[in-house]
Amino acid sequence: MSESVTIGKKSREDQTAGEHGKCMLNRRQFLMYSGATAATASTVSLTLFPGTAKAAQAKARVVGYPRKLVGKLSEMKDNVPAVINYPDDGKNSMATMVKTGVKCGGGVGAQRDLVAFSALCTHQGGPLLGRYRVVDEHRIMGSCPLHLSTYDVTRHGIIISGQAYESLPQVLLELDGDDIYAVGMMGLIYGRNQNLMSDTTES
């Protein structure tokens, strides 16, 4: 009885295939054929287009940020921001440097509380100068006047709220005695396709 049912099923499949004029494959056959086709295609591409599978050697581009004196630690007061320009004096280079009085990601100084961030919102470049504030234990940059984005300066400028989808670019700082130096950027400055406007650097 089971054989007759099986035979009946096969005849129905053959009949269906015949009606549609198509070749019907089971899963195993499909996988075998598709694998063979892929192997053939790769062989053909190597034969017809020699050298396409080889990787070309290229030199890495190393970006050297300038080391720029941006202030004196002794002149910084808690939660009183200062305006600096980095990494150059070109378009969109203004940044806010502030001693927050609390430990910050990327902060320098005895309390790790001195940080600096780009003064342009990452959403549409809204101005953030003069928009640093303290809310309870939080240290916030913003809100942006365009779409109300705010950033947490204690956590590498991460977004708190608003339309922005990238953290605020952080200026990397170093201390040499009382001198504060800006030495690099973390994140892309709004309105630029690269942070450095030219290849010239200062030492």
The DSSP bridge partners found for residue 172 are 184
4 half-sphere exposure, CB direction, 13 A CA radius:
1
Candidates 20, 138, 147, 156; catalytic one: 147
123 is catalytic: yes
Alpha-helical runs (H) found in 21-97 = 27-48
Rounded CA separation 173/181 (Å): 6
156 is catalytic: no
Token representation of residue 61: 């581009």
Candidates 20, 123, 138, 156; catalytic one: 123
Q: Which residues are catalytic?
A: 123, 147
